[in-house]
């Protein structure tokens, strides 16, 4: 009998269609159909400049948006040969680990809800709200932030970030402890996830798996340890491994990874120097006055900028953005001609960021695995071709083989533990 | 094993089939003839080199060139922690190339995606169908001559 | 049929009954979240403990079109998915309302290309549009209140009402 689990279904991961051929309740064959969220990311990026396509990268893996930003930006920086200031790299590590925690929380929340544990879903979304509050304080948006820019980050951390971050860490630890108590030894959860959809290491490598799914089979590969980027080699964290490669191991690996991410954030908090200046300069002249005064002579006093331009002042900009290939500080733009020319040359069409001709591939540890960008440039300000190496594409391509021989009810926890994100799978 | 050693061994064995070896931004790419794909890949996959993982498989459309499509393969070796890029050019009139499904299973979906987006046929692929676009979609979207904003609705639109 | 909702005209009992029926319908909305993309994360936030949808009566998601009366289209709708959306809408029973959640459902969002439907009102009639990419949960609650006002003020359909053809 053919059964169609259609594209619109209660599992809140994304739209995917699974057609199964069943005999009673056992699955004989299945076919997975994807592409219901194909939004044409690669084609649309060929028509935008390198700076303009940053918001499109946010919406790829939308549960951990800052990591996609980071992957794209680091690829561009490698291509341009930029060196990012140290404070910006540390801020990037904090944001990337917060996104990773948010990713794992969402994935396991949805997986638990589909197995029937609704409380776990509510607890985890509550913890995620604290994390998103911290992200919103600094970047201005909860989810799709476009915060990590080429050359650094867009603005410095909020002066009050430490309290928010400490609250988030404490709340997340509480929630993780509660969920461990609820699900780890729960007979129903164990029956639904133990020894279901077992994957051997050879099969996983053959399918090109990376990330928590590969680590649950026992293979030790983490991009943060193998090709360290953005100061990850300075921090001390473990990479949890599973044994059997079934659903329960994938769940456990993600839970333990969240604890390691919290450890990394605490280490960063110890290293990070305190914020140098206040967010707004209380004294200083208005920008309009400064522009007028600068026509006669170069202005030396502080300029009081509006809260929207927070982070673009000269003092703090050198900590968070590299000096080349980035927009200049706003005081320079308004009062000096060189600043204006730099601003003009950065934002105008046909000018702007023009990397040398060639191609590059760079990857970063995303929430699901190795998130890689392959960019081909032909010397102009628009990319010639961008390709995204989506980690969950390879993971989901194994699903047909994984669910063979199991019951229909096993599809749900299997699918949940794979963490399929539609935006990344279908680009 | 260092990357240079690997490249030398590959060049020594397949001298005439390799067109070029480029090194840019810290990564190496080998440009090969398309017929030699299976031999080179099976040589690289064997035990001593152990490029066991196919990271990515994609295509670039160089419109205006005679050899229009360029297939790009990224291989990865877990034990040696090395990445390698293999490139092969295809003619516009003859967009066929051997399929990598006998070696890696994820090549199945990756090649279906390239067929859907570019229209390249893979000889030996068990099930070459469209992956992202719906059945009945005309054209191959990621080619350079397909307009970005062309609307092909699947059901009639109101208003 | 359900597009033109005229101002209520009638006697005292029918208007009162209309009011009571509107009151009952607006405070017990069962919604069907048709979730596709990033807005789904904000939908989850809006529906959970922090910003609660339940206190407005729209708490329980009914995972079946036949059992729900509000269709929340959350996220981008592609050309491949359009017939499925139309089928789901036609499967829902009257009375039904549609809410377009997020910029991609309202007008195609930032994706103006071959694969995305530029706004779901080319496929199904929409009652409330929620802008934002993604919209904050407070915006969602605001939209829900607007929908409730709309339900209260519209002419309700009930079985023994005499209709003028």
Which pLDDT score, from 0 to 100, does residue A177 have? 92
In this predicted structure, the answer to whether residue C40 has a pLDDT above a threshold of 90 is no
Do the Cβ atoms of C114 and B159 come within 8 Å?
no
- Give A315's pLDDT tier (boundaries 50, 70, 90): low
A14: contact with C, CB 8 A cutoff: yes
Q: What sign does the CA torsion over C59, C63, C64, C65 have?
A: positive
Tokens read off for A17? 């269609």
pLDDT in tens, B74-90: 988 888 888 888 899 88
Residue range A134-157: mean pLDDT, rounded:
85
| Per-residue CA distances from A243 to A194, A221, A262 (Å) | 12, 14, 23
Contact C114 A40 (CB under 8 A): yes
Total count of residues recorded for chain C: 165
> C22-38 in b/e burial notation, b at 16+ Cβ within 10 A?
beebbeebebbbbbbbb
Q: Which residues in C lie closer than 8 A to residue B146 (C-beta atoms)?
A: 114
A48 close contact with B: CB closer than 8 A: no
Digit-coded pLDDT (tens) for A257-271: 999 999 999 999 888
pLDDT of the residue at B49 = 75
Question: CA-to-CA distance for A35 and A16, rounded, in angstroms?
Answer: 8
Subunit contact B106:A426, Cβ cutoff 8 A: no
Which residues of chain B lie closer than 8 angstroms to A394, CB-CB?
106, 109
Higher model confidence: residue C159 or residue A418?
Answer: A418
Q: What are A362-381's pLDDT values in tens digits?
A: 989 988 889 999 999 988 88
Q: Which chains touch A (3 or more CB pairs under 8 A)?
A: B, C
- Interchain contact, C82 vs B158, CB within 8 Å: no
Beta strand pairing status for C31-35 and A358-365? unpaired
pLDDT tier at A175 (50, 70, 90 boundaries)? very high
The mean pLDDT of A192-204, rounded to a whole number, is: 88
Kindly state whether C68 is in contact with chain A, defined as any CB-CB distance less than 8 angstroms.
no
C-chain residues within 8 Å CB-CB of B134? 79-80
Alpha helices in A321-384 (DSSP H): 330-335, 337-347
- Best mutation target, B132, B144, B147, B150, to test chain A (most A CBs within 10 A): B132
When pLDDT is averaged across residues C33-46 and rounded to a whole number, the result is 87
Q: In this complex, do C121 and B146 lie within 8 Å of one another by their Cβ atoms?
A: no
Closest by CA to A160, choosing from A136, A127, A125, is: A136
CB B49 within 8 A of CB B5: no
- Per the CB < 8 Å rule, is A374 touching B56? yes
* Percent helix, percent strand, percent coil in chain A, to nearest 5: 50, 10, 40
Specify the pLDDT at position C2.
Answer: 45
pLDDT > 70 fraction of chain C, expressed in percent and rounded: 88
More confidently predicted of B59 and C157 = B59
Q: Which residue has the higher pLDDT, C1 or C62?
A: C62
Average pLDDT over residues A104-130: 89
Q: Do C122 and B157 touch (CB under 8 A)?
A: yes
List chain B residues with CB under 8 Å of A426: 132
Mean pLDDT within A154-168: 84
Interchain pair C80, B155: CB under 8 A: no
Whether the per-residue pLDDT at C34 is higher than 70: the answer is yes
Give the H or E element holding residue C100: strand C97-101
Predicted local confidence at residue A312, as pLDDT = 66
Q: Is the pLDDT of residue A76 over 60?
A: yes
Q: DSSP of A70-96, one letter per residue? A: HHHHHHHHHHHT----HHHHHHHHHHH
d(CA B13, CA A42): 37
pLDDT tens digits along B32-53 = 888 888 888 888 887 777 888 8
Backbone phi, psi, residue B121, to 5°: -95, 135
pLDDT score at A309: 64
pLDDT, residue C160, reads 61
Chain B hits for C123, Cβ within 8 Å: 155, 157-158
Amino acid C95: pLDDT: 84
- Cα distance between residue A395 and residue A207, in whole Å: 7
pLDDT digits over A381-397, tens only? 889 999 999 998 999 88
Mean pLDDT of A300-327: 69
What's the confidence (pLDDT) of residue C1?
44
The pLDDT confidence band at residue A277, using thresholds 50, 70 and 90, is: low
- pLDDT tens digits, residue range B97-114? 889 888 888 898 999 999
DSSP element (H, E) containing C159: none
- The dihedrals phi and psi of A122, each to the nearest 5 degrees, come to -65, -40
Q: Which pLDDT does position C20 carry in this prediction?
A: 86
The whole-number pLDDT of residue A339 equals 82
Chains with 3 or more CB pairs under 8 A to chain C: A, B
Any chain B CB within 8 A of the CB of C113? yes
Q: Do C81 and A12 touch (CB under 8 A)?
A: no
Q: What is the CA radius of gyration of chain A?
A: 23
On the question of pLDDT at A415 being above 70, the answer is: yes
Smallest Cβ–Cβ distance between C42 and the set A59, A143, A422 belongs to A143
Closest CA to A33 of C116, B122, C78: C78
According to the model, what pLDDT value does residue A115 have?
A: 86
Tens-place pLDDT, residues B15-26: 777 788 888 888
pLDDT at A373: 92
3-state class (DSSP) for residue C132: coil
Mean pLDDT of the residues in chain A: 85
A105 to chain C, minimum CA–CA distance in Å?
12
To test the contact with chain C by mutation, choose from A4, A6, A7 the residue with the greatest count of C C-beta atoms within 10 A, namely A7
Q: What percent of chain A has pLDDT over 90?
A: 19
Residue C165 has pLDDT above 50, yes or no: no
User: How far apart, in whole angstroms, are the C-alpha atoms of residue B111 and residue B107?
Assistant: 6
> Is 60 exceeded by the pLDDT of residue A282?
no
pLDDT at res. A47: 87
List the single best residue of C76, C89, C115 to mutate versus B (max B Cβ within 10 A).
C115
Share of chain A above pLDDT 70, in %: 93
């Amino acid at each position: 009998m053919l059964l169609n689990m259609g594209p619109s279904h209660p599992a809140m991961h994304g739209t995917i269609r699974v057609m199964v051929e069943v005999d009673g309740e056992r699955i004989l064959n299945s076919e997975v159909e994807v592409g219901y969220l194909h939004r044409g990311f690669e084609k649309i990026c060929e028509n935008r400049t390198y700076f303009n396509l940053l918001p499109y990268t946010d919406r790829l893996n939308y549960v951990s948006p800052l990591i996609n930003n980071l992957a794209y930006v680091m690829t561009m920086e490698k291509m341009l040969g930029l060196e990012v200031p140290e404070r910006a790299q540390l801020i990037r590590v904090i944001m990337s680990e917060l996104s990773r925690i948010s990713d794992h929380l969402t994935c396991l929340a949805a997986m638990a809800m589909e197995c029937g544990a609704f409380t776990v879903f509510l607890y985890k979304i509550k913890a995620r709200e604290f994390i998103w509050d911290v992200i919103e304080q600094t970047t201005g948006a909860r989810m799709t932030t476009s915060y990590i820019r080429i050359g650094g980050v867009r603005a410095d951390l909020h002066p009050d970030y430490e309290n928010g971050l400490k609250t988030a860490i404490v709340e997340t630890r509480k929630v993780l402890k509660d969920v461990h108590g609820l699900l780890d030894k729960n007979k129903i959860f164990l029956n639904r996830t133990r020894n279901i959809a077992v994957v051997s290491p050879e099969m996983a490598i053959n399918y090109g798996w990376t990330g928590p799914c590969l680590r649950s089979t026992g293979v030790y590969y983490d991009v943060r340890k193998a090709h360290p980027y953005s100061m990850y080699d300075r921090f001390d964290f473990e990479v949890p491994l599973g044994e059997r490669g079934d659903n329960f191991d994938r769940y456990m690996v993600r839970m333990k990874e969240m604890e390691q991410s919290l450890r990394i954030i605490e280490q960063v908090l110890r290293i990070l120097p305190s914020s140098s200046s206040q967010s707004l300069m209380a004294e200083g002249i208005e920008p309009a006055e400064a522009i007028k005064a600068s026509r006669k002579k170069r202005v030396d006093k502080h300029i009081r900028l509006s809260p929207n331009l927070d982070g673009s002042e000269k003092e703090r900009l050198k900590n968070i953005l590299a000096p080349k290939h980035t927009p200049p500080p706003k005081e320079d733009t308004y009062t000096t001609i060189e600043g204006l020319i730099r601003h003009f040359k950065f934002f105008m069409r046909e000018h702007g960021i023009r990397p040398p001709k060639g191609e590059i591939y760079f990857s970063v540890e995303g929430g699901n695995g190795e998130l890689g960008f392959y960019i081909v440039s032909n010397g102009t300000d628009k990319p010639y071709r961008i390709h995204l190496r989506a980690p969950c594409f390879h993971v989901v391509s194994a699903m047909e083989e994984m669910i063979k021989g199991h019951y229909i009810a096993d599809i749900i926890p299997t699918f949940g533990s794979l963490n399929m994100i539609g935006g990344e799978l279908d680009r | 094993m260092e990357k240079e050693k690997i490249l030398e061994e590959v060049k020594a064995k397949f001298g005439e089939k390799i067109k070029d070896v480029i090194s840019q931004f810290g990564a190496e790419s080998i440009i090969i003839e398309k017929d030699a794909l299976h031999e080179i890949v099976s040589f690289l996959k064997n035990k001593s080199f152990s490029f066991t993982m196919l990271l990515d498989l994609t295509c670039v459309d160089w419109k205006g060139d005679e050899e229009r499509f360029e297939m790009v393969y990224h291989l990865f070796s877990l034990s040696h922690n090395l990445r390698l890029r293999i490139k092969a050019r295809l003619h516009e009139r003859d967009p066929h190339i051997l399929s990598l499904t006998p070696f890696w299973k994820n090549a199945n979906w990756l090649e279906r995606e390239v067929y859907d987006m570019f229209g390249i046929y893979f000889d030996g692929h068990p099930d070459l169908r469209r992956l992202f676009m719906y059945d009945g979609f005309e054209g191959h979207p990621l080619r350079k001559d397909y307009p970005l904003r062309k609307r092909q609705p699947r059901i009639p639109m109101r208003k | 049929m359900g597009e033109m909702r005229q101002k209520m005209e009638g006697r005292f009992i029918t208007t009162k009954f209309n009011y009571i029926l509107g009151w009952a319908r607006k405070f017990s909305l069962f919604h069907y979240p048709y979730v596709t993309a990033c807005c789904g994360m904000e939908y989850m936030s809006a529906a959970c403990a922090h910003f609660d949808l339940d206190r407005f009566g729209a708490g329980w998601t009914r995972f079946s079109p036949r059992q729900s009366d509000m269709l929340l289209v959350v996220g981008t709708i592609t050309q491949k998915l359009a017939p499925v959306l139309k089928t789901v809408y036609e499967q829902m029973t009257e009375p039904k309302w549609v809410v377009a959640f997020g910029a991609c459902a309202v007008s195609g969002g930032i994706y103006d290309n071959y694969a995305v439907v530029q706004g779901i009102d080319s496929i199904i009639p929409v009652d409330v549009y929620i802008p934002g990419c993604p919209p904050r949960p407070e915006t969602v609650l605001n939209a829900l209140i607007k929908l409730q006002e709309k339900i209260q003020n519209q002419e309700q359909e009930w079985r023994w009402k005499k209709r003028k053809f």
